[in-house]
Structures are given as C-alpha cells and as structure tokens.
Amino acid sequence: MFNMPLTLHEVEHIARLARLHLSPEQKEHYRSQLSTILDHIARLQELDTRDVPPTTGGGLTEMPLREDQVRPSLPVEQLLSNAAESQENQFKIPPVFD
C-alpha cells in the first residue's frame, strides 16, 4: 500500500471526490508531487501505535453546553448578498437534473 507512486487513475479518483477539475498536465504534476509527499509520510507506518488512543477534537476534553433557546440569526438578505446568484430569498443554482 505504501512507498508506491500514485497512479494517474488514483489521482483522477481523488480529484473527482474533491470536486476539482484538473488539466492533464495538472494531473501528472500532482501525481508526481503527491507521490513524493506520501513517500515521506509513509515513515509513520514504522511507529508502533498498538494500545495508543487517537487524539480527537484537538485534545480538548471539555464539551460546553448551552441552553437550547431560540435566538435571532443573521438577516437573509445579508447572507444572500455574497451569492453569485439569488432569487426570492434563495440561492440560485444551475439545474441539478437534466
């Protein structure tokens, strides 16, 4: 699994998952660079982590709670003001289905 260069097929799969359009040159560029980085990262496999719990939540142990109360929120117009397109208090997008 490790120390193996990424294949072009894998790069295309990752780009698809991440919703990124890449040119053929970019695909090759990232294939080569990510392979080098992953090769360096692979040294983590040598570490014995049996019985070691994972760190989650940045190590914070507190979990603050608050009363579940209705509060004012930001005005709709203000939230829509940054959208590329909006209509009738909603974000407007191109068709989802053909």
Partner 1 sequence: MSPALASLTLAQMKAGLESGDFTARQLVEASLEAIARLDPLLHAFLYIDAERALNQAAAADRQPKATGRPLHGIPIAVKDVLTVEGMPCTAGSKILQGFYPPYTATAVKRLQEAGAIVIGKTNTDEFAMGSSTENSAYGRTHNPWDTHRVPGGSSGGSAAAVAARMVSAALGTDTGGSVRQPASFCGVTGLKPTYGRVSRYGLIAFGSSLDTVGVFAQTAEDAALIFSIMAGHDPLDATSSKQPLPDLHLPNDPSLRGLRIGVPREYFVEGMQPEIQLRTQEAIEQMRQLGAEVVEISLPHTAYALPVYYLIAPAEASANLARYDGIRYGPRSRADSIWEVFFQTRGELFGEEVIRRIMLGTYALSAGYYEAFYGQAQKARTLITRDFEAAFQTVDVIAAPTTPTTAFLAGAHADDPLSMYLEDIFTLPASLAGIPGICFPVGFDSQGLPIGLQLLGPRFREDRILSVAHVYQQITDWHLRLPALVKGDAAQ
Instruction: Name the site residues for partner 1 (rule: CB under 8 A).
Output: 1-2, 6, 10-11, 13-15, 17-22, 26, 30, 33-34, 36-38, 40-45, 47, 49, 52-60, 62-64, 66, 74-75, 78-79, 81-85, 91, 93-96, 98
Judged by CB, which is closer to partner 1: 8, or 13?
13
Q: Which residues contact 86 (CB under 8 A, 6 or more apart)?
A: 80, 92
Distance of closest approach, residue 29 Cβ to partner 1, in angstroms: 8
Q: Across 1-98, where does the E strand assignment appear?
A: 86-87, 90-91
The residue count of the chain comes to: 98
